[in-house]
Structure 1
């Protein structure tokens, strides 16, 4: 392979929210002259190849997990919302060796590896092959510290950044770290079997020993101001890929269904209700409550439901409510008055970029933390999924839309979000670090070029 075209394996696992950001990163790496290959669940092959990127299957496949657990995907989502251990004990850890073997095979001829921070098997393979590893975080919750504690969790963290609060949070994190070491014991045993260095706690669960870089692929606005100590992570901004490259605020009729365009053109800006690609499964009653709330407010609405529920919901709805499966958020959100969502980072990023006030109804995992961060930004209200009802939805949406402060703040945040393209920044960082002097790429040593800027 040519010296100036390093091959990079990108390994991720999860839903569209865990895949789309890496598609955006892959396309940006292509523009940097790199050769990216995305490894993930087989069900995303057509999506990834349709974007002009090379695809390789990496286990676990979501269908295989569903079959092994004898659960539909909706049941898996419900289990994750009820158990903090389910994701690790039942979904991730049973497939550590599968992912490791897949990535060991795929990294025979690559120059670097980019991983979702929870792609444990892929990280172990990169470490085993001594390849430059770029550990990517899609959520601010996982870059926690005493001055940036997880928010919206049962743990009694203090949100003040006073020395007392930071000291208290540090002690609490040490206690949680001990518990996480026990939770991640299957991962520790796996690393021990491979002869990899022993790590514990947070480093075991989300870290990457010796990583070339730790990258936060989300807006730094979701993080507190940088602390006085030197931070090791680099927060570069959102990767906005959703299958459409249209800038925020633009309208591309080719990217939306014609009946949806007609609906948007026929009246006032609607409220959008969405639960992403996994949480939406088996949530038809949630969308019914959303429709009731919109009608009580005399507002038009768009429901982005699971594809299996679209026809049934359409039969129940009036002409003021339009029901669809997935559509590109980058095209839809700018044409709406507010976004009601579950707190997935894909939806969050697009709503931030569109400059719209948000109501977040978190169900599981980092969604509670993200909801609280958006609330603290002054652009969102939060309502836990277990508390959702038509009445509560209506009450919170009315408050959101009747207070100009939410809309004003959302527009101001959008102006700041527009300054950073996370995918391009991350791709430039990865490319430069792979090409820095002394770094071997495909058997060659990269020399400095005149005027090269070091990162």
Structure 2
């Protein structure tokens, strides 16, 4: 393994991430915060996000896997991939992450020749292995509380029957179940274990194999600690710093509605606050019928609606909808959500963070991955209702939205949580931590 030199006055750090826009935007926010701390960031991710990153005035380097390459290899378009992830718990690992371990490793190994540290998305296994091989300090960043699991903070909404840790008995039960799950994780991640062995890296098992970073300089949760059960906050060694609210809006830290397109702004100014329906940047693909049902539910409640749909569906839905529905492709959430009455979304962390900060009640319809866990956590906070996305109907949407808006408890909790969330600045807190530890480790 290599060793890193003494850091210059402005250390250079590589930020490696992959996934959807919700896996990129938080790290863009972190990159800006690092720059303000005197650290020069480089974002390394899929070629698909080059324009997004460079449009922020940040250095970009491509790292495989590229989403287009994955679509070609699997002979699936992105909507089919999203659907497959919702149907199979292993698909993300077996078909997307593990087949590209070697590609990501060699890409990042090349990019880390002259950097002083590496920030990694917690599932960027190839990047973490490359940083280990170089002997660089690694800052392992989690965007979701689900992967910081323990007996005190079990993953909820999964096939495994974990329970909320509210008593010693519950904690003991979860600990036993986690022991079984660790063995399953070791088998699931056997391609990663073999790859690390080929590289001569230390052997790992279970959860450490999947989400850990051996000898990490820091493990950081870039989400609100409010999503963690109170009992877990007393025993976790990770540092939970708060959400990153960056979403591409020029004013995402202090959102202003003037950032919105003029036609949407006119719509918002022309009547009562609408319900916003969104499924993020990936899940939204091939979901036109879902959005039709959402519009029908809003109409049944005599409510106005904003639909944030896949760009290819915008024209079709605009032709179908009445004047009480405004249809758009991706719109930054930070200036929009404060102007709505409620947010109906899939449970992605980006949408979750913006809805929490806006102080709006939420209906969560999770489709895949950690979205089910997020739905449970938001329900536990008292700010949201949750329902399964599979087989969702107009009647179910209507009933749940009506309960959400007619029960004052949801709005009251949402406003209380928003007051606490407003005090958080995840990227700045994380950047200070990374800067201090990076400079400290390089002085040793």
Do the two structures share a fold, i.e. TM-score over 0.5?
Answer: yes
Aligned to 2:142: 137
Measured in 2, the distance between the counterparts of 1:287 and 1:4 equals 51
Aligned to 1:452: none
Measured in 1, the distance between the counterparts of 2:326 and 2:202 equals 54
Aligned to 1:47: 52
Aligned to 1:79: 84
SS at match of 1:327: coil
Measured in 2, the distance between the counterparts of 1:268 and 1:44 equals 36
Measured in 2, the distance between the counterparts of 1:76 and 1:303 equals 22
TM-score after normalising by structure 1: 0.95
Aligned to 1:278: 282
Aligned residue among 317, 322, 327 for 2:326: 322
Aligned to 2:415: 411
Q: CA RMSD in A?
A: 1.3
Residue 7 in 1 paired to residue 6 in 2? no
Q: Could you tell which deviates more after superposition, 244-253 or 408-417?
A: 244-253
Aligned residue among 284, 302, 305 for 2:306: 302
Measured in 1, the distance between the counterparts of 2:253 and 2:217 equals 32
Pairs aligned (count): 439
* Structure 1 residue 158 displacement after superposition: 2.1
Runs of 4+ in 1 over 3 A off after TM superposition: 226-230, 247-250
Post-superposition CA distance 1:363-400 (Å, at most 9, x none) = 00100000000000000000110141111001000000
* Structure 1 residue 410 displacement after superposition: 0.3
The gaps in structure 2 that reach 5 residues or longer are: 1-5
Aligned to 1:453: none
* Structure 1 residue 249 displacement after superposition: 7.5
The gaps in structure 1 that reach 5 residues or longer are: 447-455
Aligned to 1:378: 382
Residue 102 in 1 paired to residue 103 in 2? no
Q: Is the 8 A contact 2:142 2:221 kept in 1?
A: yes
SS at match of 1:386: coil
SS at match of 2:150: coil
Q: Could you tell which deviates more after superposition, 333-342 or 222-231?
A: 222-231
Measured in 1, the distance between the counterparts of 2:254 and 2:399 equals 28
Post-superposition CA distance 1:139-191 (Å, at most 9, x none) = 00000000110111121112142111111100100101101110100000000
* Structure 1 residue 226 displacement after superposition: 4.3
Q: Is the 8 A contact 1:248 1:331 kept in 2?
A: no
Aligned residue among 427, 438, 441 for 1:434: 438
Aligned residue among 351, 355, 360 for 2:355: 351
Aligned to 1:59: 64
Aligned to 1:24: 29
Q: Could you tell which deviates more after superposition, 225-234 or 110-119?
A: 225-234
Residue 173 in 1 paired to residue 178 in 2? yes
Q: Is the 8 A contact 1:248 1:334 kept in 2?
A: no
* Structure 1 residue 252 displacement after superposition: 3.7
Residue 125 in 1 paired to residue 140 in 2? no
Residue 157 in 1 paired to residue 170 in 2? no
* Structure 1 residue 82 displacement after superposition: 0.2
